[in-house]
């Protein structure tokens, strides 16, 4: 009997013939090209079974392939049928190169709302045909699009009024000689208007588009019924609500105007439509991306407060795990951490689905526990928990790797763990001149691993929003990161790792805040990182002789800070556990 995915691929191939193309591209994307998409846009998962947060499938008449990055190599193999799909590394074997070799000269269909202008250019040499989405034509029980209400994000958390943001960015447009800017990223829309929603899991956004004008006015493309009177008053008269059905007409009205458009992150459909309308396109990044990343004083204070509350939840969880973890399941442990977090002020939910991996499952970089894989946590193994919270005043993200005991861990595991920790500390303690980008710092987190011939196949750090997406641009820390200089107010993750397939995974993640450094005698301005996350590292896994005296001093000072900040908020038993966990090494 054919599998459901076999049936779906067969149905899609029938649509290829109906539309006169030899293949169709199915990205893991919606019309906003963000990481988090609603169920109604999970086309890649529906077609292939692969549920990772990044990927693309190409279905040809007789061949098909699914592509994703190193985070999902093992997951891709577990979730897709090798009889239907070749599994490819999206960096080592790019989709466009595979397609040119697999179907030279063929006509290939794509949905122009689900690929960026820059992404489309990578398929140069392939005859690309814009089509309606062929997956939608065969997805009979496709979920409805989100339709929940828009809510106000209070000024006490945002730190700057929406009207002031629009005026500031409008002035930037005028200075650049531009009449308007297109916003398609829901986090940009929500940041600009100081609103939030629940259209996708884990990221508190509403899905909509904005045309921001140089006079500070804006067109907000969303169903008006989703915006109640209080939110309309909050937005003010300079923000006009435009139903999505009227979007083409709105864009047509920009004839002769210069519109800022980001070819790297915005759908090519907008570029085509604006050009057809006679607008002049000015290529440039999302105008909100940099100011959104540089948190203001209120957001920075909120981040410190939220991380302290999150640290209290983590301390309670870690103490509980030390006493009760063995015999629990990966799911029950993650649920317990969520229970502790939910007791915190301003908590609104997880910032992503917790990655809870015991033993060999921890080696799957972005492991997601399922009914089939959920297993008990055993004695004497490593356990990795990567999780985060959405609070009204901040977004958190933390990873710890633990040892269940009761025996001492293997020396090889301790060595691997400590080398990851050494890289974490090297990044946490660096001072660097203004103008340095995250890509310039990535090597610091890897140097100790490299010295032993080891590495990890993911970035070292990503930006984090303020009660927005846990993955935020434009800055990052990785070899592949765009060369965006780090600036004060940015919050990024510091998360080196090491993964031994079939045995264990190690990742140690804190969030850090970029701030001015105080370096006596410095010839020019320098920056540094302030660590926000408050939770101890597993001392049973630390081999002190592999740390420099300076790194060990940082670790002891960090643990002393964790104890001082969290201890007063804990019951006596948990405080006693934390005191032992944070004792000097």
Q: What is the pLDDT of residues 435-452, one digit of tens each?
A: 999 999 999 999 999 999
Q: Rounded to an integer, what distance in angstroms lies between the CA atom of residue 324 and that of residue 96?
A: 49
Percent of the chain predicted with pLDDT > 70: 100
Residue 138 · residue 51 · CB < 8 Å: no
End-to-end CA distance of the chain: 60
Q: Compute the chain's Rg from CA coordinates.
A: 24
Condensed to tens digits (0 to 9), the pLDDT of residues 494-514 reads: 999 999 999 999 999 999 999
Distance (Å, rounded) from C-alpha 320 to C-alpha 70?
33
Order the strands of the 398-403 sheet from edge to edge. Answer: 355-358, 382-387, 398-403
Query: Token pair for residue 358?
Result: 């015991």
- The separation between CA 183 and the C-alpha centre of its own chain, rounded to angstroms, equals 19
pLDDT at position 74 is 81
| The predicted structure's pLDDT at residue 1 | 32
Tokens standing for residue 92: 């080592």
pLDDT digits (tens, 9 = 90+) for 507-550: 999 999 999 999 988 999 999 999 999 999 999 999 999 999 99
Give the three-class secondary structure for 28.
coil
Q: Which of 223, 165, 227 is nearest to 192 (CA)?
A: 165
Residues 334-354, mean pLDDT to the nearest whole number: 98
Maximum Cα interatomic distance, the chain, rounded to a whole number of Å: 74
Helix, strand, coil share (%) of the chain residues, nearest 5: 40, 20, 40
Q: Please state, in angstroms and rounded to a whole number, the distance separating the CA atoms of residues 109 and 112.
A: 9
Preceding peptide of 474 cis, ω within 30°: yes
Same fold, 4-138 and 294-581: no
User: In the CATH scheme, what is the homologous superfamily, with its name and number, of domain 4-138?
Assistant: Creatinase/prolidase N-terminal domain (3.40.350.10)
Average pLDDT over residues 6-22: 96
Task: Please give the CATH number for the structural domain made up of 294-581.
Answer: 3.90.230.10
Q: How confident is the model at residue 75 (pLDDT cuts 50, 70, 90)?
A: confident
Q: Give the integer Cα–Cα distance in Å for 373 and 283.
A: 46
Rounded mean pLDDT of the chain?
A: 97
Write out the two tokens for 336. 């317990």
Confidence check: pLDDT of 2 > 70: no
What superfamily does domain 151-285 belong to in CATH? Creatinase/prolidase N-terminal domain (3.40.350.10)
Give domain limits for the chain.
Answer: 4-138, 151-285, 294-581
Is the pLDDT confidence value at 70 over 90? no
Burial of 343 (0-12, 13-18, 19+ CB in 10 A): exposed
Mean pLDDT within 471-481: 93
- Containing H/E element for 183? strand 180-183
Helices (H), 39-79: 43-48, 73-79
State pLDDT tens for residues 103-140: 999 999 999 999 999 999 999 999 999 999 999 999 99
* pLDDT tens, position by position, 243-279: 999 999 999 999 999 999 999 999 999 999 999 999 9
């Amino acid at each position: 009997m054919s599998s459901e995915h076999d049936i779906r691929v067969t149905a899609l191939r029938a649509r290829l013939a109906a539309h006169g193309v030899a293949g169709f591209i199915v990205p893991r994307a919606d019309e906003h090209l963000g990481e988090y998409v609603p169920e109604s846009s999970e086309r890649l998962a529906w077609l292939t079974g692969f549920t990772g947060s990044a990927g693309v499938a190409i279905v040809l008449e007789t061949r098909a392939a699914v592509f994703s990055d190193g985070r999902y190599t093992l997951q891709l193999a577990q979730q897709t049928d090798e009889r239907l799909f070749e599994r490819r590394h999206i960096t080592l074997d790019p989709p466009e190169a595979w397609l040119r070799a697999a179907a030279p000269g063929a006509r290939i269909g794509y949905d122009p709302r689900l690929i960026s202008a820059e992404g489309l250019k990578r398929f140069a040499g392939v005859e690309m045909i814009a089509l309606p989405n062929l997956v939608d034509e065969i997805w009979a029980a496709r979920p409805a699009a989100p339709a929940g209400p828009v809510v106000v994000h209070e000024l006490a958390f945002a730190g700057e009024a929406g009207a002031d943001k629009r005026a500031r960015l409008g002035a930037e447009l005028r200075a650049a000689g531009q009449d308007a800017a297109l916003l398609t990223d829901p986090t940009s829309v929500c940041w600009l208007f100081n609103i939030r929603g629940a259209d996708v899991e884990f990221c508190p956004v509403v899905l909509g588009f904005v045309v921001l004008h140089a006079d500070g006015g804006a067109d907000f493309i969303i169903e008006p019924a989703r915006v109640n009177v209080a939110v309309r008053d909050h937005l003010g008269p300079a923000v006009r609500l435009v139903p999505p059905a009227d979007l083409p007409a709105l864009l047509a009205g920009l004839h002769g105007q210069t519109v800022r458009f980001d070819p790297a992150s915005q759908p090519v459909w907008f570029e085509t439509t604006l050009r057809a309308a006679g607008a002049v396109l000015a290529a440039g990044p999302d105008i909100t991306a940099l100011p959104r990343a540089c948190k203001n004083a209120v957001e920075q204070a909120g981040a410190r407060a939220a991380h302290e509350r999150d640290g209290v939840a983590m301390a309670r969880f870690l103490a509980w795990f030390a006493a009760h973890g063995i015999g629990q399941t990966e799911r029950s442990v993650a649920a317990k951490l969520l229970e502790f977090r939910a007791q915190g002020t301003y908590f609104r939910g997880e910032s992503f689905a917790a990655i809870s991996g015991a033993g060999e499952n921890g080696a799957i970089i972005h492991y997601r526990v399922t009914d089939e894989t959920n297993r008990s946590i055993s004695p004497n193994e490593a356990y990795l928990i990567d999780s985060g919270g959405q609070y009204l005043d901040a977004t958190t993200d933390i990873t710890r790797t633990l040892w269940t005991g009761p025996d001492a861990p293997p020396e090889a595991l301790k060595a691997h763990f400590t080398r990851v920790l050494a890289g974490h500390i090297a990044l946490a303690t660096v001072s660097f001149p203004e103008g340095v980008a995250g890509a310039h710092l990535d090597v610091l987190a890897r140097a100790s691993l490299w010295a032993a011939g080891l590495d990890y196949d993911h970035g070292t750090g990503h930006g984090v929003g303020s009660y927005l997406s846990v993955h935020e641009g434009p800055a990052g820390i990785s070899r592949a990161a765009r060369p965006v200089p780090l600036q004060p107010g940015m919050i990024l993750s510091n998360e080196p790792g090491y993964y031994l397939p079939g045995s264990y995974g190690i990742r140690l993640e804190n969030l850090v805040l970029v701030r001015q450094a105080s370096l006596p005698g410095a010839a020019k301005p320098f920056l540094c990182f302030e660590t926000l996350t408050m939770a101890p590292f597993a001392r049973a896994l630390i081999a002190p002789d592999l740390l420099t005296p300076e790194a060990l001093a940082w670790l002891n000072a960090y643990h002393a800070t964790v104890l001082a900040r969290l201890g007063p908020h804990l019951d006596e038993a948990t405080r006693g556990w934390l005191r032992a966990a944070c004792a000097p090494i």
